Protein backbone atom coordinates (compact mmCIF):
# COMPACT_ATOMS: atom_id res chain seq x y z
CA UNK A 1 0.00 0.00 0.00
CA UNK A 2 1.11 3.56 -0.65
CA UNK A 3 2.74 5.23 2.32
CA UNK A 4 4.42 8.58 2.81
CA UNK A 5 6.37 8.74 6.06
CA UNK A 6 7.79 12.09 7.12
CA UNK A 7 10.58 12.97 9.49
CA UNK A 8 9.94 14.04 13.04
CA UNK A 9 9.11 17.36 14.63
CA UNK A 10 11.71 20.11 14.59
CA UNK A 11 12.37 23.17 16.72
CA UNK A 12 14.42 25.89 15.05
CA UNK A 13 15.57 29.38 15.88
CA UNK A 14 14.68 32.34 13.65
CA UNK A 15 17.05 32.63 10.72
CA UNK A 16 17.89 28.93 10.68
CA UNK A 17 16.94 26.38 8.02
CA UNK A 18 14.93 23.19 8.28
CA UNK A 19 14.90 20.14 6.02
CA UNK A 20 11.91 17.81 6.14
CA UNK A 21 11.98 14.39 4.51
CA UNK A 22 9.20 12.29 3.04
CA UNK A 23 9.92 8.63 2.37
CA UNK A 24 7.64 6.98 -0.16
CA UNK A 25 6.79 3.31 -0.41
CA UNK A 26 4.27 1.07 -2.13
CA UNK A 27 4.59 2.65 -5.57
CA UNK A 28 7.14 3.77 -8.16
CA UNK A 29 8.61 6.92 -6.61
CA UNK A 30 9.61 8.47 -9.93
CA UNK A 31 6.14 8.05 -11.38
CA UNK A 32 4.36 10.77 -9.42
CA UNK A 33 5.12 14.38 -8.55
CA UNK A 34 5.55 15.12 -4.85
CA UNK A 35 3.89 18.24 -3.51
CA UNK A 36 4.45 20.09 -0.24
CA UNK A 37 1.64 21.81 1.65
CA UNK A 38 1.85 23.60 4.97
CA UNK A 39 -0.69 24.54 7.61
CA UNK A 40 -0.01 27.14 10.28
CA UNK A 41 -1.75 26.63 13.64
CA UNK A 42 -5.47 27.24 13.27
CA UNK A 43 -5.05 28.24 9.62
CA UNK A 44 -5.82 26.74 6.23
CA UNK A 45 -3.77 24.73 3.77
CA UNK A 46 -1.07 26.51 1.79
CA UNK A 47 0.53 24.94 -1.29
CA UNK A 48 4.30 25.38 -1.43
CA UNK A 49 5.32 23.63 -4.63
CA UNK A 50 6.15 20.34 -6.27
CA UNK A 51 9.10 18.29 -7.41
CA UNK A 52 9.19 15.84 -10.28
CA UNK A 53 11.13 12.93 -8.75
CA UNK A 54 12.02 11.63 -12.20
CA UNK A 55 13.75 14.75 -13.52
CA UNK A 56 14.28 16.76 -10.36
CA UNK A 57 12.36 19.63 -11.90
CA UNK A 58 10.51 21.89 -9.51
CA UNK A 59 7.73 24.44 -9.44
CA UNK A 60 7.48 26.65 -6.37
CA UNK A 61 4.63 28.88 -5.33
CA UNK A 62 5.61 32.47 -5.99
CA UNK A 63 5.60 33.25 -2.28
CA UNK A 64 8.30 30.66 -1.61
CA UNK A 65 10.60 31.25 -4.56
CA UNK A 66 14.17 31.87 -3.42
CA UNK A 67 13.31 30.57 -0.02
CA UNK A 68 12.36 26.92 -0.44
CA UNK A 69 14.32 24.11 -2.06
CA UNK A 70 12.78 20.76 -2.97
CA UNK A 71 15.05 17.84 -3.78
CA UNK A 72 14.86 14.09 -3.99
CA UNK A 73 17.00 10.99 -3.64
CA UNK A 74 15.59 8.35 -5.95
CA UNK A 75 17.86 5.65 -4.50
CA UNK A 76 15.89 5.76 -1.26
CA UNK A 77 12.55 7.03 -2.63
CA UNK A 78 12.68 10.13 -0.50
CA UNK A 79 11.70 13.72 -1.19
CA UNK A 80 12.99 16.66 0.80
CA UNK A 81 11.74 20.17 1.46
CA UNK A 82 14.18 22.72 2.85
CA UNK A 83 13.03 26.11 4.05
CA UNK A 84 15.62 28.74 4.86
CA UNK A 85 15.68 31.99 6.81
CA UNK A 86 12.96 30.75 9.10
CA UNK A 87 10.67 33.21 10.85
CA UNK A 88 8.18 32.66 13.64
CA UNK A 89 5.30 32.66 11.16
CA UNK A 90 6.84 29.64 9.45
CA UNK A 91 5.68 27.63 12.45
CA UNK A 92 3.39 25.09 10.84
CA UNK A 93 2.73 21.47 10.05
CA UNK A 94 4.38 20.60 6.76
CA UNK A 95 2.84 17.83 4.65
CA UNK A 96 4.07 15.97 1.61
CA UNK A 97 1.37 14.72 -0.75
CA UNK A 98 1.54 12.58 -3.87
CA UNK A 99 0.19 14.38 -6.90
CA UNK A 100 -1.53 12.87 -9.92
CA UNK A 101 -2.18 14.17 -13.42
CA UNK A 102 -5.70 15.32 -12.58
CA UNK A 103 -4.25 17.37 -9.75
CA UNK A 104 -5.61 15.84 -6.57
CA UNK A 105 -3.88 14.35 -3.53
CA UNK A 106 -5.06 10.92 -2.45
CA UNK A 107 -2.01 10.14 -0.35
CA UNK A 108 -0.55 12.42 2.29
CA UNK A 109 2.28 12.14 4.77
CA UNK A 110 1.45 12.31 8.46
CA UNK A 111 2.79 15.86 8.71
CA UNK A 112 5.87 17.34 10.37
CA UNK A 113 5.51 20.10 12.93
CA UNK A 114 8.17 22.76 12.56
CA UNK A 115 8.30 25.24 15.42
CA UNK A 116 10.31 28.43 14.99
CA UNK A 117 11.05 30.09 18.28
CA UNK A 118 13.87 31.96 19.89
CA UNK B 1 -6.33 35.63 1.62
CA UNK B 2 -7.07 32.60 -0.55
CA UNK B 3 -7.69 32.82 -4.29
CA UNK B 4 -10.51 30.32 -3.85
CA UNK B 5 -13.21 31.68 -1.55
CA UNK B 6 -15.13 29.48 0.88
CA UNK B 7 -17.51 30.46 3.67
CA UNK B 8 -15.67 30.34 7.00
CA UNK B 9 -18.36 28.22 8.59
CA UNK B 10 -21.57 26.31 7.95
CA UNK B 11 -23.78 24.35 10.28
CA UNK B 12 -26.65 21.92 10.20
CA UNK B 13 -28.62 19.53 12.35
CA UNK B 14 -28.18 15.78 12.08
CA UNK B 15 -29.95 14.42 9.03
CA UNK B 16 -30.00 17.75 7.23
CA UNK B 17 -28.28 18.75 4.01
CA UNK B 18 -25.55 21.37 3.87
CA UNK B 19 -23.58 22.83 1.01
CA UNK B 20 -20.17 24.47 0.94
CA UNK B 21 -19.30 26.78 -1.92
CA UNK B 22 -15.92 27.43 -3.50
CA UNK B 23 -15.67 30.52 -5.70
CA UNK B 24 -12.75 31.10 -8.03
CA UNK B 25 -12.19 33.03 -11.23
CA UNK B 26 -11.58 32.68 -14.94
CA UNK B 27 -7.90 32.05 -14.13
CA UNK B 28 -8.51 28.86 -12.21
CA UNK B 29 -11.87 27.08 -11.86
CA UNK B 30 -13.34 29.02 -14.79
CA UNK B 31 -10.39 28.06 -16.98
CA UNK B 32 -11.50 24.45 -16.80
CA UNK B 33 -9.32 23.14 -13.99
CA UNK B 34 -10.86 20.41 -11.87
CA UNK B 35 -11.97 21.07 -8.30
CA UNK B 36 -11.20 18.61 -5.52
CA UNK B 37 -12.46 18.54 -1.95
CA UNK B 38 -10.81 17.42 1.30
CA UNK B 39 -12.04 16.74 4.80
CA UNK B 40 -9.70 17.41 7.70
CA UNK B 41 -10.35 16.21 11.21
CA UNK B 42 -8.43 17.87 14.04
CA UNK B 43 -4.81 16.80 14.23
CA UNK B 44 -4.90 14.71 11.08
CA UNK B 45 -3.83 15.07 7.47
CA UNK B 46 -6.48 16.07 4.93
CA UNK B 47 -8.49 13.25 3.40
CA UNK B 48 -9.59 13.32 -0.24
CA UNK B 49 -13.38 13.47 -0.39
CA UNK B 50 -14.18 14.41 -4.00
CA UNK B 51 -11.87 14.49 -7.02
CA UNK B 52 -12.42 15.74 -10.54
CA UNK B 53 -15.37 17.92 -9.48
CA UNK B 54 -17.80 15.11 -8.70
CA UNK B 55 -16.05 11.77 -8.22
CA UNK B 56 -15.80 9.95 -4.91
CA UNK B 57 -12.75 7.86 -4.01
CA UNK B 58 -13.40 4.35 -2.83
CA UNK B 59 -14.75 4.33 0.71
CA UNK B 60 -16.29 7.81 0.72
CA UNK B 61 -20.02 7.60 1.43
CA UNK B 62 -22.43 8.72 -1.27
CA UNK B 63 -23.76 11.30 1.18
CA UNK B 64 -20.94 13.45 -0.15
CA UNK B 65 -21.27 14.91 -3.64
CA UNK B 66 -19.58 17.62 -5.66
CA UNK B 67 -20.46 19.82 -8.57
CA UNK B 68 -18.88 22.56 -10.63
CA UNK B 69 -20.33 25.34 -12.74
CA UNK B 70 -18.52 28.25 -14.32
CA UNK B 71 -16.10 29.75 -11.83
CA UNK B 72 -17.54 27.99 -8.77
CA UNK B 73 -17.92 24.57 -7.24
CA UNK B 74 -19.95 23.12 -4.40
CA UNK B 75 -19.72 20.27 -1.94
CA UNK B 76 -23.01 18.87 -0.67
CA UNK B 77 -23.40 16.66 2.37
CA UNK B 78 -26.74 14.97 2.92
CA UNK B 79 -27.93 13.05 5.96
CA UNK B 80 -25.56 15.03 8.17
CA UNK B 81 -23.88 13.00 10.90
CA UNK B 82 -21.94 14.04 13.98
CA UNK B 83 -18.78 12.50 12.51
CA UNK B 84 -18.97 14.94 9.58
CA UNK B 85 -17.95 17.78 11.86
CA UNK B 86 -14.61 18.83 10.39
CA UNK B 87 -12.87 21.40 8.21
CA UNK B 88 -13.44 21.18 4.46
CA UNK B 89 -11.15 22.56 1.76
CA UNK B 90 -11.57 22.95 -1.97
CA UNK B 91 -8.54 22.76 -4.25
CA UNK B 92 -7.86 23.57 -7.88
CA UNK B 93 -5.07 24.87 -10.12
CA UNK B 94 -4.19 27.94 -12.11
CA UNK B 95 -2.48 28.40 -15.44
CA UNK B 96 0.99 28.46 -13.86
CA UNK B 97 0.41 24.89 -12.66
CA UNK B 98 0.26 26.15 -9.10
CA UNK B 99 -2.16 24.39 -6.79
CA UNK B 100 -4.69 26.55 -5.00
CA UNK B 101 -6.59 25.85 -1.80
CA UNK B 102 -9.68 27.53 -0.50
CA UNK B 103 -9.49 29.10 2.93
CA UNK B 104 -11.44 26.24 4.47
CA UNK B 105 -14.92 25.87 5.93
CA UNK B 106 -15.64 24.63 9.43
CA UNK B 107 -18.72 22.42 9.52
CA UNK B 108 -20.56 22.28 12.82
CA UNK B 109 -23.18 19.60 13.40
CA UNK B 110 -25.71 21.10 15.79
Q: What is the pLDDT along chain A (118 residues), one digit of tens a residue?
A: 999 999 999 999 999 999 999 999 999 999 999 999 999 999 999 999 999 999 999 999 999 999 999 999 999 999 999 999 999 999 999 999 998 887 899 999 999 999 999 9
User: Are the Cβ atoms of A47 and B51 closer than 8 angstroms?
Assistant: no
How high is the pLDDT of residue B1? 75
Distance from CA of A46 to the nearest CA of B (A): 7
How high is the pLDDT of residue B79? 96
DSSP letter, residue A7: P
User: Are the Cβ atoms of B45 and A109 closer than 8 angstroms?
Assistant: yes
How high is the pLDDT of residue B6? 97
How high is the pLDDT of residue B96? 83
Whether residue A55 lies within 8 A of chain B, CB to CB, comes out as no
Whether residue A106 lies within 8 A of chain B, CB to CB, comes out as yes
How high is the pLDDT of residue B23? 97
How high is the pLDDT of residue B95? 85
Instruction: Give mean pLDDT in consecutive 10-residue pieces for chain B, a chain of 110 residues.
Output: 92 97 95 96 96 96 96 97 97 90 96
A12-23 pLDDT, tens digit per residue, is 999 999 999 999
**Contacting residues of A for B2, CB less than 8 Å apart:** 44
DSSP letter, residue B56: P
Q: Residue B9 and residue A55: Cα distance in Å, rounded?
A: 41
Longest dimension (CA), chain A: 41
How high is the pLDDT of residue A65? 95
DSSP letter, residue B4: B
Distance from CA of B38 to the nearest CA of A (A): 9
Q: Residue A15 and residue A56: Cα distance in Å, rounded?
A: 27
Residue B49 · residue B39 · CB < 8 Å: yes
| A contact test, residue of B5, B33, B97, B98 with most A CBs within 10 A | B98
User: Are the Cβ atoms of A47 and B98 closer than 8 angstroms?
Assistant: yes
Amino acid sequence: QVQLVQSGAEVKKPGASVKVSCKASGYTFTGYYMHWVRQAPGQGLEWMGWINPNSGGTNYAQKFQGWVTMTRDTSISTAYMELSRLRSDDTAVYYCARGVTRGYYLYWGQGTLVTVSS
Amino acid sequence: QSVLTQPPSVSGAPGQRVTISCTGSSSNIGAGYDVHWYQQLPGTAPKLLIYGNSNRPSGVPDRFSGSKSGTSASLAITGLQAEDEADYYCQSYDSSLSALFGGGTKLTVL
